[in-house]
């Protein structure tokens, strides 16, 4: 990260929250906070961290990228 006030300071989090909103939140109507919390947790732990293809790692899922590093 750079110095305070640099325009790239929040870029990784802004990118993540954009993905979260576009891929998960805007597609569902949550009736309770617990329902929203559960759906967002599932998105992060199951889809985003394991299955979603990330451009930073050549459009591979994190699981596939780690398997490639170990092999």
Predicted confidence at residue 50, as pLDDT, reads: 84
Domain ranges of the chain: 11-70
Q: What are phi and psi of 22, to 5 degrees?
A: -70, -40
pLDDT digits (tens, 9 = 90+) for 31-64: 999 999 999 999 999 888 888 888 888 899 888 9
Instruction: State the pLDDT confidence band at 2, using cuts at 50, 70 and 90.
Output: low
Residues in the chain: 71
CA distance readout (Å), 13 to 30, 47, 64: 23, 17, 23
Nearest to 40 by CA among 48, 18, 10: 48
* 3-state SS assignment for residue 55: helix
The least confident of 10-14, 15-19, 21-25, 57-61 is 10-14
């Amino acid at each position: 990260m750079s110095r305070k006030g640099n325009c790239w300071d929040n870029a990784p989090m802004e990118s993540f929250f954009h993905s979260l909103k576009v891929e998960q939140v805007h597609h569902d109507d949550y009736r309770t906070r617990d329902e929203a919390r559960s759906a967002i947790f599932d998105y992060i732990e199951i889809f985003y961290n394991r299955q979603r293809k990330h451009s930073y790692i050549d459009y591979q899922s994190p699981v596939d990228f780690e398997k490639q590093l170990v092999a």
